[in-house]
Amino acid sequence: MSNGIEYEIREMVSNILEVPVEKLTPEVDFFKDLNVDSLKAIEIVAAFEKKYRIIVPEDDIPKIRNLGQLIEYTKNVTS
Amino acid sequence: MKEKRRIVITGLGVIAPNGIGKQEFWQALKEGRSGIKAIKRFDTNEFKCKQAGEIQGFKPDAFLGTKGLRDLERTSRLLCTAAKLAIDDAGLNIDDNNTDDIGVSTGTTLSSIWNVAEFDKGAIHDGPRFTDAALFPGMVMNAASSQVSIRFNIQGFNTTISTGYSSSIDALKYAIDFIKLRRIKAVLVGGVESLSLVNYSGFYRLGFFAGIKGEEISCPFDKRRNGIILGEGAAVVMIEDVEHALERGATIYAHVNGIGNCFDAYRMGKYHPEVTGLKNSIKEAMSNSELGVSDIDYISASANSVPEQDRLETKAIKDVYGSYAYNIPVSSIKSMIGETFSAGGLFQIAASIGSMYKGFIPPTMNYEMRDDECDLDYVPNKSRITRINNVLINNYGPGGNNAAFILSKWN
């Protein structure tokens, strides 16, 4: 299940940011390393919310800066 | 006498239902090849009408690359591609030194409806908290025009004009005024519309389409005409102050010789019975050009196969030019690309540049049955090989917006 979620999220983010999956390591910073702007960040959040039918509280959004944190967050809220 | 400030066209990009790129488009017009066909983009089973001037086989990645393409909805893809072709054709290098001297002016009216509809569909199906955020930026009317500025780093100004049928000529006039005021040196002027189920359904429900009460055919000026066939696409021209163009050694296609626009709203969705606005637009364009009546070699008509539109345009031409009107060839390319609405005027300009450089008048296709109220020379069914120096381009519709533009060959 966890591996499934990891795969799904990596694919989703890779698709939105147009970054190959192999470059999307858990540590790479969305904002500093991948130049993600606010619009792209909202797009990731919206796609994530739609997929898992979860509303991400606004206060949680700035805490998610890389793929690892996003996967961790997903595991917590879906468990 | 104050010397007239000359504005010239130096670049052209076209994505039309019957040809991608200027050469393919011009060749199709010369051969009378239509881009009107059965719609593939959405299911037409529930409609009596089935056709449109749909652009099929268009691969934007071949022009724009794949990076960032997912952020562009169909209208932006069409406009950005036509803009790229126009910039390349003009040979204008845009960089930090000249970006503030270049602007973008776009005519479009229905372009964002697809995104609005998709967003709404998401809200209804998944709930308002789960809508697709990626669709939102493309929901505004100026999305496509803005994407051109973003993609090609054009920072002078960016404007979208949404005046329905006359949008792209109105956008051209806006750009011309900017150059005349010396606030800018070059402008990418575009017209774009894209086909969507929503606008197709809207025009259908209002009874605008050919095929509802007759044959499903675009046959301007023909007695059988019974409505429009919708078209889509983008056309973009680069216009410049002549000094700027000559300074950089640009190839000049044509010069802007006269332009006029006039509003004559009559009643909701009804044409003014005296077609006053179009007549005044033509008179204004003539008076601010250097031309007399006998200098007009060809009229590129706005006629779109709507009974009133084609009859009234014929009347306007005859009222303005008197008996000389019978000597001027008039044709409508909408018989081959459909009614592209806000993009129509720019397609007519793109076609007319071809007329000047390839020496032909595009035909009015599907012309078979004469109507006594439409009795001019409509260049029926076969292009005419002739020399063209000055073209009058008409643009109007039932909304009250009218525009006329005179394009002259650069010698």
The span from the CA of B11 to the CA of B93, in Å, is 12
Contact A46 B133 (CB under 8 A): yes
pLDDT (0 to 100) of residue B267 = 86
pLDDT (0 to 100) of residue A63 = 87
Q: What is the mean pLDDT of residues B86-94?
A: 98
pLDDT (0 to 100) of residue A78 = 81
Which helix (H) or strand (E) segment holds residue A13: the answer is: helix A2-17
| Dihedral (CA of B372, B374, B379, B381) sign | negative
pLDDT (0 to 100) of residue B3 = 56
Say how many CB pairs under 8 Å bridge A and B.
Answer: 27
Q: What is the mean pLDDT of residues B59-86?
A: 95
Nearest to B193 by CA among B246, B227, B145: B145
The span from the CA of B2 to the CA of B257, in Å, is 16
The span from the CA of A54 to the CA of A56, in Å, is 6
Within 10 angstroms of residue B215's Cβ, the number of other Cβ atoms is 13
Q: How far is A50 from chain B (nearest CA, A)?
A: 5
From B68, B126, B134, residue closest to A43, measured CB to CB: B134
| Chain A residues within an 8 Å CB radius of B70 | 15-16, 18
| Chain A residues within an 8 Å CB radius of B132 | 46-47, 50
| Chain B residues within an 8 Å CB radius of A55 | 129
**Percentage of chain B lying above the pLDDT 70 cut:** 99
Contact B134 A49 (CB under 8 A): no
Q: What is the mean pLDDT of residues B356-379?
A: 98
Nearest to B227 by CA among B46, B33, B382, B398: B398
Phi, psi (degrees; rounded to nearest 5) at B361: -105, 125
Measured between CB atoms, does A50 come within 8 Å of chain B? yes
The span from the CA of B238 to the CA of B109, in Å, is 21
Q: Residue B320 is encoded by which pair of tokens?
A: 């303005």
The Cα-based distances of A62 to A35, A45, A69, B62, B112 in angstroms read 15, 11, 11, 37, 31
**Please, which pLDDT band fits residue B1 given cuts at 50, 70 and 90?**
very low
This model of the complex carries an ipTM of 0.75
pTM of the predicted model as reported, rounded to 2 decimal places = 0.94
